Amino acid sequence: MPWGGFRAENPPMLTELKRRLRAVWAEIAEAGIILGLVFISTTALAQPFYVPSGSMEPTLQIGDAMLGSKFPYGYSRYSLPYAFGPSAKERLLGKLPRHGDVVVFRLPRDPKQTYVKRVIGLPGDRIQMVDGHLRINNQTMALKPAGTDDVEFGDGAKRKVERFTETLPGGVSHAIFKWRWDGALDNTQVFTVPAGHIFVMGDNRDDSLDSRVAPADGGVGFVPVENLMARADMLIGSYDFLNMHGPASWPGLVRLQRFFKSI
């Protein structure tokens, strides 16, 4: 029994303070759990990305929002926010992409920049452009005409551009744009992809600075496997902000047909 025969009671003010403290700690714990789940999901499972350029048209359009899966190629420091961690040649649970995968990666010459391109060459492959046609290991990839599309260029004008279906090794087919056959990137040297690297290209073949262009000239060059961030799997939304002309136009710029579309 408490001293003097009296029961010690918590003053009402102290009881209320404890109740509030418990409530605050509960909110902090809940916020911590949510942040932890977000960190785990964006690091280990999937991450959203935004498409700011037309180098991957017609597959990806300016204003597309896409979801990239983080686990297909394993994990490197570029799987983590802010690329936190040491450099390593081998990826944890690493696996090479396949020909035709659309990948998100850190630009080798400037890892602060994030790019999205299609995988054309794997280690050991020999890549060359001849008269605008892609050759892989001395085999010309099949091109099938698939009509024309209206494409908006940097000057705001729309022009018709030929669309083709290209088939890569392994049978993966995808659409490309081709509007000339005698450009600077239509006839190239033979690029032999070194070990631990991939060769990537944009689907908008005449408007893409990719592995065909050396880093010193503003291109991508070979991409170390370490720089892979995700495989682009699905569009989760799209907004045609290039044609925004006042509030009245805003609702019609949502591309509903591109929501939840596989890449």
Quick: pLDDT tens for 154-193. 556 778 999 999 999 999 999 999 989 999 999 999 999 9
pLDDT at 37: 46
Residue 10 pLDDT > 60: no
CA distance 124 to 179: 30
- List, in sequence order, every beta strand (DSSP E) within 70-109: 102-107
List the catalytic residue out of 55, 76, 79, 211: 55
Strand bridging mode 139-140 / 143-152: unpaired
Domain locations along the chain: 3-41, 47-262
CA distance 53 to 107: 15
pLDDT at 161: 92
**pLDDT band for position 6 (cuts 50, 70, 90):** very low
CA distance 184 to 206: 9
CA distance 211 to 203: 12
CA distance 43 to 175: 30
The percentage of the chain sitting over the pLDDT mark of 70, rounded to a whole number, equals: 80
Mean pLDDT of 72-100: 85
Q: How far is CA 67 from CA 88, 170, 260, in A?
A: 25, 24, 9
**pLDDT band for position 252 (cuts 50, 70, 90):** confident
Residue owning tokens 């509903």: 256
Q: Are 123 and 194 in contact (CB under 8 A)?
A: yes
CA distance 117 to 210: 8
Quick one: 33 exposed, middle or buried, by C-beta within 10 A (0-12, 13-18, 19+)? exposed
Fold of 47-262: Umud Fragment, subunit A (2.10.109)
Quick one: 199 exposed, middle or buried, by C-beta within 10 A (0-12, 13-18, 19+)? buried
Which tokens go with 221?
């060059």
**pLDDT band for position 5 (cuts 50, 70, 90):** very low
Residue owning tokens 């003097």: 4
55 is a catalytic site residue: yes
Residue 123 pLDDT > 60: yes
Of 25 and 70, the structure prediction assigns the larger pLDDT to 70
117 is a catalytic site residue: yes
Q: For the chain, how big is the Rg over CA atoms in Å? A: 26
Q: Are 101 and 134 in contact (CB under 8 A)?
A: no
Average pLDDT over all residues of the chain? 85
pLDDT at 18: 63
Residue 203 pLDDT > 80: yes
pLDDT at 199: 98
List the catalytic residue out of 70, 76, 79, 117: 117
pTM of the model: 0.81
pLDDT at 8: 47
